Amino acid sequence: MDPNSVKSTLSNLAFGNVMAAAARDYQKELLAQEKAQSSTSVNQEVDLDELMDDPELEKLHADRIAALKKEAEKREALKRQGHGEYREISEGDFLGEVTGTEKVICHFYHKEFYRCKIMDKHLKALAPKHLDTKFVKLDAENAPFFVTKLAVQTLPCVIIFRKGIAVDRLVGFQDLGGKDDFTTRTLEVVLIKKGIISEKKSDEDDDDNDYDESRRKTVRSSWNHDSDSD
């Protein structure tokens, strides 16, 4: 037999053994990785099951559900009291409306006054957003007793009540820049500063600077200027 041929055959056999050994090692490594992944998956499932059975987590979940239920019941109770919408009331309803809940905003208006209609538009937009506060309006012409009792002289006049007591008011547009083109957000900021409504997390504060600027430019007007009456 040719010595070179024998040498080549032996070399090929040796190379084949090396490749076979490498293939076996690679296969073992793949199997080890699959086993490790399977083990990790099982551990994760076990950990998740243990987590779901955690009494502290169950208590937190139950507390959250109870809080949400309580908040929903509170909202429904407030709606039954007339919260969540901007409503017109009569003089006969006035005392019951302002004393029947903690926070009330009442707009004394005249149906023919343009500025009262502007105030109506903004209060109507705010009422659904601030459920904790009741928003109502009262025709000043049809409520002479309370107009006199509360010394309402300029319309629009927005009076703020806490627990049935008048604690503050907006007279005309004096606190709103003295002009007709103020935004709903501007009025909202004023009412927040007066403490009758609360800031909402979803609200944007982009108009705050506009409000501050309008405050600086506020012009103190006479009764005739603020009121639409003759």
Q: What is the mean pLDDT of residues 77-90?
A: 83
> Is residue 174 within 8 Å of residue 116, measured between CB atoms?
no
Residue 210 confidence (pLDDT) above 60: no
**pLDDT for the residue 49:** 62
pLDDT digits (tens, 9 = 90+) for 112-150: 999 999 999 999 999 999 999 999 999 999 999 999 999
DSSP string, 121-175: HHHHHHTTT-TTSEEEEEEGGG-HHHHHHTT--SSSEEEEEETTEEEEEEETTGG
Confidence of residue 6 (pLDDT cuts 50, 70, 90): very low
Q: Indicate if the pLDDT at residue 7 is higher than 60.
A: no
- Banded model confidence at residue 216, pLDDT cuts 50, 70, 90: very low
At 156 the pLDDT is 97
Long-range Cβ contact pairs of 79-85 (< 8 A, separation 24 or more): 79/131, 81/134, 82/134, 82/136, 83/127, 83/131, 83/132, 83/133, 83/134, 83/135, 84/127, 84/128, 84/131, 85/127, 85/128, 85/135
Note the pTM of the prediction, 2 decimals.
0.60
Most confident of 1-15, 30-44, 91-105: 91-105
Higher pLDDT, 139 or 218: 139
* Local confidence band at 219 (pLDDT 50, 70, 90 cut-offs): very low
pLDDT tens figures, 48-73: 666 667 777 777 777 778 777 766 76
Mean pLDDT score across all residues of the chain = 78
The reported pLDDT for the residue numbered 36 is 66
The pLDDT > 90 percentage for the chain reads 49
Over residues 153-208, the pLDDT tens digits come to: 999 999 999 999 999 999 999 999 999 999 999 999 999 999 999 987 654 444 44
Q: Which of 69-83, 99-113, 215-229 has the lowest mean pLDDT?
A: 215-229
User: Of 76-85, 89-98, 103-112, 159-168, where does mean pLDDT reach its minimum?
Assistant: 76-85
Task: Check whether 32 has a pLDDT greater than 80.
Answer: no
Say how far apart CA 109 and CA 139 lie, in whole Å.
Answer: 5
